[in-house]
Amino acid sequence: MESNAKSVRLDSLTKVFIGPGNQQVVAADNVSLTINPGDLVTFLGPSGCGKTTTLRMVAGFENPTSGRVFIGGRDVTSLPPNERDTAMVFQSYALFPHMTVGENVAYGLRFRNVSKEEKEERVRRIMELVGLSGFESRQPGQLSGGQQQRVALARSLVVEPQVLLFDEPLSNLDAKLREQMREEIRRIQTELSITAIYVTHDQSEAMAMSDRIVVMNHGRIEQEGTPREVYSEPGSKFVADFIGRVNFLPGKLTGEADLSDERAAEMASWLEAGRTLYEVLIFDRRLLVEGQDSLAQVAGATSGRVLVVCRPEAATIAGANESISPDAHVTGRIVKAMYFGSHMEYGIVLEGGSEFTLIDFNPAKSQPLSVGDTAGLRFDEASLHALPEGR
Ligand X SMILES: Nc1ncnc2c1ncn2[C@@H]1O[C@H](COP(=O)(O)OP(=O)(O)OP(=O)(O)O)[C@@H](O)[C@H]1O
Residue number with CB closer to Mg ion (41 or 317): 41
Scored b (16 or more CB within 10 A) or e, 71-86 reads bbeeebeeeeeeebbb
Give the C-alpha separation, 232 to 344, whole Å.
22
95 binds, among another protein, Mg ion, ligand X, none (CB under 5 to 8 A by kind): another protein
Among 67, 145, 250, 347, binds another protein (CB under 8 A): 145
Half-sphere exposure of 26 (CA within 13 A, CB side): 10
Q: Are the C-beta atoms of residues 382 and 289 closer than 8 Å to each other?
A: no
For CA atoms 89, 91, 97, 100, the dihedral sign is positive
Among 2, 98, 134, 269, binds another protein (CB under 8 A): 98
Q: For residue 201, what are the contacts with CB-CB under 8 A and spacing of at least 6?
A: 44, 45, 46, 47, 51, 168
Can residue 70 be called a binding residue for another protein (CB under 8 A)? Answer: no
Q: How far is the CB of 130 from ligand X (least distance, A)?
A: 25
| C-beta atoms surrounding 204 within 10 Å | 13
Among 1, 5, 16, 25, binds ligand X (CB under 6 A): 25
Residue number with CB closer to another protein (142 or 180): 142
Q: Which stretch binds another protein (CB under 8 A): 141-149, 204-212, 301-309, 377-385?
A: 141-149
Can residue 248 be called a binding residue for another protein (CB under 8 A)? Answer: no
Half-sphere exposure of 291 (CA within 13 A, CB side): 31
Give the C-alpha separation, 71 to 77, whole Å.
9
Q: How far is the CB of 29 from another protein (least distance, A)?
A: 18
For the segment 185-244, give every residue that binds ligand X (CB under 6 A).
Answer: 201
190 binds, among ligand X, another protein, Mg ion, none (CB under 5 to 8 A by kind): none
Q: How far is CA 348 from the centre of its chain?
A: 28
Strand order in the sheet with 315-320: 315-320, 374-379, 330-339, 344-350, 355-360
Kindly list the distances between the CA atom of residue 95 and the CA atoms of 17, 88, 151, in Å, as whole numbers in the listed order: 28, 12, 8
Among 12, 32, 112, 340, binds another protein (CB under 8 A): 112
Among 8, 41, 71, 87, binds another protein (CB under 8 A): 87
Scored b (16 or more CB within 10 A) or e, 322-345 reads eebeeebbbbbebeebeeeeebbb
Torsion angle of C-alpha atoms 369, 375, 378, 383, degrees rounded to 10: 60
Q: DSSP code of 369?
A: P
Give the C-alpha separation, 166 to 94, whole Å.
12
Residue number with CB closer to ligand X (51 or 182): 51
Q: How far is the CB of 50 from ligand X (least distance, A)?
A: 4
Residue number with CB closer to Mg ion (44 or 143): 44
Q: Which stretch binds ligand X (CB under 6 A): 49-57, 70-78, 273-281, 367-375?
A: 49-57
201 binds, among another protein, Mg ion, ligand X, none (CB under 5 to 8 A by kind): ligand X
Can residue 386 be called a binding residue for ligand X (CB under 6 A)? Answer: no
Residue number with CB closer to ligand X (56 or 311): 56
Binding site for Mg ion (CB under 5 A): 52
Can residue 51 be called a binding residue for ligand X (CB under 6 A)? Answer: yes
Give the C-alpha separation, 233 to 226, whole Å.
10
Can residue 111 be called a binding residue for another protein (CB under 8 A)? Answer: yes
Residue number with CB closer to Mg ion (129 or 196): 196
Residue number with CB closer to ligand X (19 or 141): 19
Of the candidates 80, 30, 76, 71, which has an alpha carbon nearest to the alpha carbon of residue 50?
30
Q: How far is the CB of 140 from another protein (least distance, A)?
A: 4
Residues that bind ligand X (CB under 6 A): 17, 19, 25, 27, 45, 47-53, 201
Residues that bind another protein (CB under 8 A): 56, 59-63, 80-88, 90-98, 107-108, 110-112, 139-145, 148, 155-156, 159, 172-173
